[in-house]
Amino acid sequence: MADAVRIDATVAARGLDLDVGIPEGRTVAVVGPNGAGKSSLIELIAGGLLPDTGTVSLRGRELSSPKRAVPMHQRPFGHLEQRALLFPHLTVLDNVAYGLRSRGMGRTEARARAAAELAAVGLEGYGERRPQHLSGGQAQRVALARALATDPEVMLLDEPFAALDATVTPELRRLLRSRLQGMTTVLVTHDFLDVVSLADRVVELADGAVVGDGPVDVLVQRPETSFLAGFVGLNLLRGRARGGELALGEGVAVSGIAEEELPDGEARAVFPPTAVSIFRAAPHGSPRNELPAVVELIEDRWPVQRITLTVAGQRLAADLTPAAVRELGLAPGDRVVAVLKATQVALRPSG
């Protein structure tokens, strides 16, 4: 599938060196740790940040280069950020009509289109209100209606739910999914639910560069990095495959299930936190997947408690019931034994 947006650019001050495409008609979720370059990528596309080298293009038409750039207001993009950024002196209807009026549309026609967009986001009858009389979720709906009223060719979503109450986010996700169907969209998010609810593809950034790019299902089920594994709620341990097991070092090895023959060499083990049990001493039975560990952190993540462990210099997470944690009397610094269910451990070659 052809790319609608193509970014092949560097920005030295931001540490960016990007080579990534956004496929036509698809929603691409951009994820990565803080400082990875996610918001800078959005700025490059929108035109608020210009490249030192390379270009940003839309369907082959150059938008930005070191020598010239199409102004932000002339780019056919919609933009939805964490905050709605509505004009407080305008009514809701005139906020939505603003982009149309700035493009030369007559007042009557612009207000009619704005009213239709408000109805489409569930705010029919709110047109004469002022932004200060809206809830956070309502204000974000108005911002979405304003962005869509100009018929953008590309939609840029920069953590659109981050400032909202969790109770309103699911309905807004549903609204975005229906309104943006078939539109080329770039979604920056820290929330895994946004990815699985809205995106077709995932681009993972680290240190200003792309380190992962692929369909959601593939990257979610086969994370290549510790960040992405943690993002989707899995553990990832790295080591060397030997004889069908993963050697972590320090005499520790992990067994599991390989979907195909696992050659000797660099490999990884992926498994959920629920596959980990914790004991004060090694239990009776098979010694396989009994890993000496140290408790690093205990967090309350109702209805479970997340125990962060260090095993052979690597971190892994275990989800236990509060009763189990109390019974074990766990505290940071404790030496314990982590037992992994081999049937829930996927072994895969790295790379």
Tokens of 252: 């520790």
pLDDT band at 286 (very low <50, low <70, confident <90, very high): low
Terminal CA-CA length for the chain: 24
Model confidence pLDDT, tens digit, residues 298-343: 999 889 999 999 999 999 999 999 999 999 999 999 999 999 999 9
Model confidence pLDDT, tens digit, residues 67-113: 999 999 899 999 999 889 999 999 999 999 999 999 999 999 999 99
Strand (E) or helix (H) holding 254:
strand 252-254
- 3-225 and 234-349 agree in CATH topology: no
Q: Three-state SS for 237?
A: strand
Owner of token pair 């990528």: 41
**Domain residues of the chain, as ranges?**
3-225, 234-349
Give the total residue count for the chain. Answer: 351
Owner of token pair 């320090």: 250
Model confidence pLDDT, tens digit, residues 246-276: 999 888 999 999 877 889 899 999 999 999 9
| Amino acid in the structure at residue 2 | A
User: Looking at the domain covering 3-225, what would its CATH class be?
Assistant: alpha beta
Percentage of the chain beyond pLDDT 90 is 79
Owner of token pair 């936190």: 273
pLDDT at position 129 is: 96
Neighbours of 152 (CB within 10 A): 19
Dist CA 9 CA 53 (whole Å): 6
Tokens of 161: 């739910």
**Residue 8 to residues 51, 93, 237: CA-CA distances in angstroms?**
9, 38, 32
Q: Which fold has domain 234-349?
A: OB fold (Dihydrolipoamide Acetyltransferase, E2P) (2.40.50)
Dist CA 291 CA 337 (whole Å): 5
Model confidence pLDDT, tens digit, residues 52-67: 999 999 999 999 999 9
DSSP class per residue in 194-224: HHHHH-SEEEEEETTEEEEEEEHHHHHHS--
pTM, two decimals, is 0.85
pLDDT band at 166 (very low <50, low <70, confident <90, very high): confident
